[in-house]
Structure 1
Amino acid sequence: MSLLHPFFLFSLLFFAFSFSSAQYNLAPCPLDFEPLLNVTTFDVNASTQCQYVIQGLRLVLATYLQSTGSFLPPINSSESCWDSYQSVVNNFTSNFNIRSDCGFETTWISEGCMNITTRSQFDAVVSQATRADIVASCNQSLENSSPCATCTTSLSNLQAVYLTGSSVGNLTDCTAYPSIYAAGFANYLGPTDPGTAKCLFNLNFASGGSGNKRRGVVIVVVVVVCSVVFLAVIGGVWVFYRKRRESRSVKREIVNIEMGLESISGSTTLIKFTIDEIRQATRNFTRDNIIGRGGYGNVYKGVLKDGSEVAFKRFKNCSAAGDTNFAHEVEVIASVRHVNLVALRGYCTATTPLEGHQRIIVCDLMKNGSLHDHLFGSTEKLSWPLRQKIALGTARGLAYLHSGAQPGIIHRDIKASNILLDEKFEPKVADFGLAKFTPEGMTHLSTRVAGTMGYVAPDGKKALMVIGENQPSLVTDWAWSLVRKGRAIDVVDNSMPELGSPEVMEKYVLVAVLCSHPQLYARPAMDQVVKILETDLPVPSIPERPISIVAEMDDIERSVSSSDMGCISSSAGYQSFTFEGQQHSD
């Protein structure tokens, strides 16, 4: 009897557990993934598929909220919902598993923000005035950029004030709830409206067939009429156009560029300075006023008539054709406002007989120079509190460019010389000459190689030399070799003043190594980086790095372990890095 009793109890518990586990995943999925079959943007490279999966799920959750008043499906339907979603994704791409390839846990689809699962719970957390503001901003067609920007700005404010909980696998976290709520209730057109889907979820929907047919008929008629007219006059126009083609083409280009530059001042509050005003402020561009040089030209300090100190970025080798790049940088800087982005005061476009085309950008003067000046110059080393402030501020600025700006902006040339420091050592991300808009709001962008070689992370990083071993290596591989051995703190220069706590400094090292990981999937989004640095969130596990193209990992580890001090410098002598380590016993 004494043996039967525990056996019976074990059997009862086992069958009860098996029954509950089966029930956990047997419920049918209440979500409708059919609308995603009309999405036209799933057929992309593998690096962005997980982003589309996340945005597609949020759109489906918005339709579910609209019909049921619930943000999330029941947790016992998680498995069936993933299966339903997978079947839809299979229509767009093969050999792609949502959960395994993107690292999503099964239960994440039913886990949300701050235990908010229904609309009534959401209304209890968010004030009525804020919800009314969301309706006023988002209850319109969001197809154009202006109403979309108004709506997303209101949603960002809501999330920052009321939804401050931690994320759950970056699926249905607090950053997603405002868009889901706005699409489900605030916008009268609903989540599947093409304008709403593109603005709030960065998804493109195929337009209706009847409209396409009507537009097709119109296009055919226009093409036929234009062809007839063209054939009627081509004989006489051809000779005239051949003689005047070059001169008219140049004039047309100049007119278009000037119109583009004039449109900048018409759409912003920027000041258009005259060349004489800038000459007076810089003492006729005297060399004593030069505070920076680069491939683009020189940067001068100066004083305006009102007594304010500013910086003038003067482009060299300008031409009429180069005005397009100048207009692009002005457009990018003028479109964003953030405490960690350089503020643009104005610009100057002029043509003089002696100097030709003049293109100048006017910004606030950063009295502490650039981060490069402090890291590689002769000034006193920055303390840990200042380095921590600069790292966090730079991350915030980049997170705003990627996620806060509409459309998103990828800088593509982040380096120490492009991080300016004001009088309080608040970092300002500068130099947007290579920036690229991302209309679909993706956090990753595949383009041709751009920027300064040696800084394009991670594949284009400068090959550095470990002087002690005379072996080429990457500084990121050197840091990773220490992290792998549990010596992350040795990456920190222990000669800097006011060292922080080892736990905090190690956290920053781990985040830096994770952000420079060669594999795209392993690198976190910038808004996630900010959350990790600002809160007690743990740093995600760092996947193993592939073998470096420049050096074997064993060579790097041997270089680190064989000497107490490793001095790393660029092969071109551009700059040098010195790392002072401590002896550790195994």
Structure 2
Amino acid sequence: MGILRWAAPFPLPLLLLLSWLPAMASAQSASCPLNFTLFQKYVDVYKAASDASANGTINVSPCQFTLQGIHLCQAEYLRTSGLFLPALNSSASCWAALQLLLDQIFTDFNPRSACGFKTEWISTGCMNISSRSQFESLAKASSSTVLADVNQTCSGSVSGSTCATCTATITRLNAFLTGPPNGNVSDCTQYPFIYVAGAVNRFGPANEDTALCCFALSANPDTITPSVLSSGGRSGTRGWLFGVIGGVLFLLVVAGIGFWFVVRKRRHRRKRRKKKIVGPDSSRTAAHLEYVGASTTLVRYTFDEIKAATENFSRGHIIGKGGYGNVYRGLLPDGTEVALKRFKNCSAAGDEDFRHEVEVIASVRHVNLVGLRGYCIATTPLEGHQRIIVCDLMKNGSLHDHLFGWASTAREMKLSWPIRQKIAVGTARGIAYLHYGVTPSIIHRDIKASNILLDDEFEPKVADFGLAKFAPEGVSHVSTRVAGTLGYVAPEYALYGQLTERSDVYSFGVLLLELLSGKKPIISSDGEQTSLVTDWAWSLVREGRTLDVIEEGMPELGSSEVMEKYVMVAVLASHPQLYARPLMDKIVKILETDLVVPTIPDRPIPLTSNLMDIEKSVSSSGSGHLSSFSGYQSFALGKDDTATTTE
């Protein structure tokens, strides 16, 4: 009774709560299930390489290295538990365990504060996929063969060329992982690699070849190079001169090979589709071109319909001009607003090629390409022979309008960094699709700001079908007439007529510099001396003033690391040496993921340099290479030049 009388003042729920407190405290501080001892080997290797370097630093990004270690240990956790992610209540202890390893190689580096990682991200996955069974169910629902192919190519040793074959099939797994990049450290891009290392490869992530192939972690100190140049910016950002050169370059190569395998299958399907569109007989004349194949929605408009849509080609409807002709705003009978491009100096002799080209282009659909609605071929007594294409109207105009034209003065503020970043990535995706998403590949030849149109949401659309040409697969094209716009044309194309996908890459690099700096491709200085924006940007990058390329007064600036990364990509893409430029699919991956920017080779001295510039260049030349201080993408939440050069 004494016990009962003593306990009476304490309600039963309170007693139960007191009994649960130890369990709750334990749950809040759950130990980390990730085996970070697996990462210790690579920490030791990289630390040894750092100690052996002349200046005590190596070319690896701390943020990138952190992600590589997390993904390695997540793969091991998947292998042993069938789960991708540790429990949310173990996030803090996982970061603490990882911090102990990072302290061995980096000084005063906290990944959560330095890289923008949030504590819970280590336990947050892609599309709510947390287990191996969920991942495989989603893969099977999307493709009946992809898992079998991955098992066939990735289950054994993945060293050397076998890694390339494995990576080719891994890229197919990304097709059904459509979740948004929320910034978590286990993003959708890395899930297939974690899955292959932890669930498919029989040697597991502890194997050095598997770790190198899937996570670019090298156990060979010889592949870890010293940093070569200190880089900074006007924001005073402390530089990290790092990048896993050997592993990352290797990953770039195998990723490209993998992308090629995927695209090759698409090309075979598109070949069959185009045969249906074009038909077996290509010798028909314009008189027989009244109908378009049933496999495309392309519309053949009459000339009267075009005149009605543009009010007889009224000057008030002109929204653009170029060497090819004028662009008009038009209104179709159903109320749809369209853009109509009217080509000049046409003859009936080229009608068949024109019809064939617009039909194939109409079959090329991508969110970052302007949609082609229809065309018109006609001959009239007054206007002569006419060729017109009808496209979707982009009400926000072109990128040129917003950087240098009417929109730049009408808007109270300049384009913000998030919008510019969106335009850069979308444009890169569109060009990459032209190069690798269709057969034969399409080389645009005239990538410039006025050919990047913007919809209501500022989603970029690559335009201009007048200069785009089809290139035979794997063949570079040599042209006797160089078509393009002054300042954007690649040197090898302007000088020798050599046309490849990398010619478009050069133009994209110039365009990206325009977007970042707000400067035109050709910069005039007080009307006395002109220089290329590519040479101007390179001079700043060489001096360690990378962020000075960014336009003054840009609203909503991004993190300095991200902005510097975009500048470095632009400088590399616009390199005068052909094979120094990465291909467009590599550029897309660098911009969209945390992949580091490859080392930038030195450039030839510009032809417009004076003696002082030349002496300065010679005296300051060192290693002849330049790499970004980070290469890491943070997870933080006048009139257009239209000159045509000929040879």
TM-score interval for Structure 1 and Structure 2 normalised by the shorter chain:
0.5 to 0.7
Cα distance in 2, alignment partners of residues 553 and 129 from structure 1: 65
**Aligned partner of 1:417 among 435, 438, 450:** 450
Native 8 Å contact 1:463 1:474 kept in 2:
yes
Displacement, 1:300?
A: 1.0
Residue in 2 that maps onto 1:386: 419
Counterpart for residue 549 of structure 1: 607
Describe the shift of the 1:177–1:486 C-alpha distance in structure 2 as closer, same or farther (beyond 3 A): closer
2:418 aligned partner, one-letter code: P
Which of 464, 469, 480 is equivalent to 1:436? Answer: 469
List gaps (5 residues or longer) in structure 2: 1-132, 150-168, 178-187, 191-214, 216-247, 272-281, 495-509, 511-519, 618-637, 642-647
> 1:305 maps to which residue?
333
Letter in 2 for 1:377: G
Note the alpha carbon deviations across 1:310-334, whole angstroms, 9 max, x for none: 1111112221124256335413421
8 Å CA contact 2:292, 2:299 repeated in 1: no
- Measured against aligned partners, the alpha-carbon deviations of 1:137-190 in whole angstroms (never above 9, x if no partner) come to 9xxxxxxxxxxxxxxxx997644236944774344338628949x9xxxxxxxx
- How far is 1:438 from its partner? 2.7
Query: Structure 1 residues 308, 465: CA separation in 2 closer, same or farther (over 3 Å shift)?
Result: closer
More RCO (CA 8 Å, sep 6+): 2
Match of 1:540 among 598, 602, 608: 598
- 1:493 is matched with which residue? 551
Contact persistence 1:419–1:429 (CA under 8 A) = yes
Partner of 2:354: 326
Q: Which runs of 5+ in 1 are unaligned?
A: 1-120, 138-153, 183-194, 203-253, 560-572, 577-586
* SS of residue matched to 1:345: strand
Q: TM-score, normalising length from structure 2?
A: 0.50
Matched, 1:173 2:173: no
Deviations 1:44-69 (A, max 9, x none): xxxxxxxxxxxxxxxxxxxxxxxxxx
| SS of equivalent residue, structure 1 residue 409 | strand
User: Are the counterparts in 2 of residues 130 and 158 from structure 1 also a CA contact under 8 Å?
Assistant: no
1:512, CA displacement in angstroms? 0.4
Structure 1 residues 155, 257: CA separation in 2 closer, same or farther (over 3 Å shift)? Answer: farther
**1:320 and 1:275, CA in 2 relative to 1: closer, same or farther beyond 3 A?**
same
Which residue pairs with 1:289 in the alignment? 317
Q: Which moved more, 1:340-349 or 1:548-557?
A: 548-557
Q: With the length of structure 1 as denominator, give the TM-score of the two structures.
A: 0.54
Using a 3 Å threshold, how does the CA distance of structure 1 residues 490 and 175 change in structure 2: closer, same or farther?
same
Seen in structure 2, the aligned counterparts of structure 1 residues 287 and 480 have a Cα distance that, compared at 3 Å, is same
Query: For the Cα contact (< 8 Å) 2:439–2:473, is it kept in 1?
Result: no
How many residues are matched?
364
Distance (Å, rounded) in 2 between the aligned partners of 1:348 and 1:435:
18
The one-letter amino acid of 1:548's match is P
Local SS of the residue matching 1:169: helix
- Work out the CA distance in 1 between the residues paired with 2:320 and 2:299: 23
What is the letter of the counterpart of residue 175 of structure 2?
A
Find the partner of 1:405 among 425, 432, 438. 438
Residues 261, 540 of structure 1: alpha-carbon distance in 2 compared, 3 angstrom cutoff? farther
Q: Are the equivalent residues in 2 in contact too, given 1:478–1:557 (CA < 8 A)? A: no
Q: Which residue matches 2:175?
A: 160
The 3 A distance-change label for structure 1 pair 279 and 410 is: same
Distance apart, 1:554 and its partner CA:
5.1
Tell me if structure 2 keeps the 8 A contact 1:407–1:437. Answer: yes
Relative to structure 1, the CA distance from residue 196 to residue 541 in structure 2 (aligned partners, 3 Å threshold; closer, same or farther) is closer
Note if contact 2:426-2:459 (Cα within 8 Å) is conserved in structure 1. Answer: yes
- Secondary structure of the residue aligned to 1:173 is helix
Alignment of 1:60-459 (within 5 A): 127-132=139-144, 158-161=173-176, 164-165=189-190, 168-173=250-255, 176=258, 179=261, 256-258=284-286, 261=289, 264-324=292-352, 326-327=354-355, 329-378=357-406, 379=408, 380=411, 381-441=414-474, 446-448=478-480, 449-458=482-491
Instruction: Say if 1:481 and 1:556, in contact at 8 Å, map to a contact too.
Output: no
Kindly report the root-mean-square deviation, in angstroms, between the aligned alpha carbons of the 2 structures: 4.2
Report if the CA contact (8 A) 2:286-2:348 is conserved.
no
Shift of 1:482: 0.5
- The answer to whether the Cα contact below 8 Å between 2:361 and 2:372 also exists between their aligned partners in 1 is yes
- What amino acid is aligned across from residue 341 of structure 2 in structure 1? K
User: 2:320·2:327 contact (CA, 8 Å) conserved in 1?
Assistant: yes
Cα 1:177/1:362, change in 2 over 3 Å: closer
The amino acid across from 1:543 in the alignment is P
Give the CA deviation at 1:255.
Answer: 7.0
1:270 is displaced (CA, Å) by: 0.6
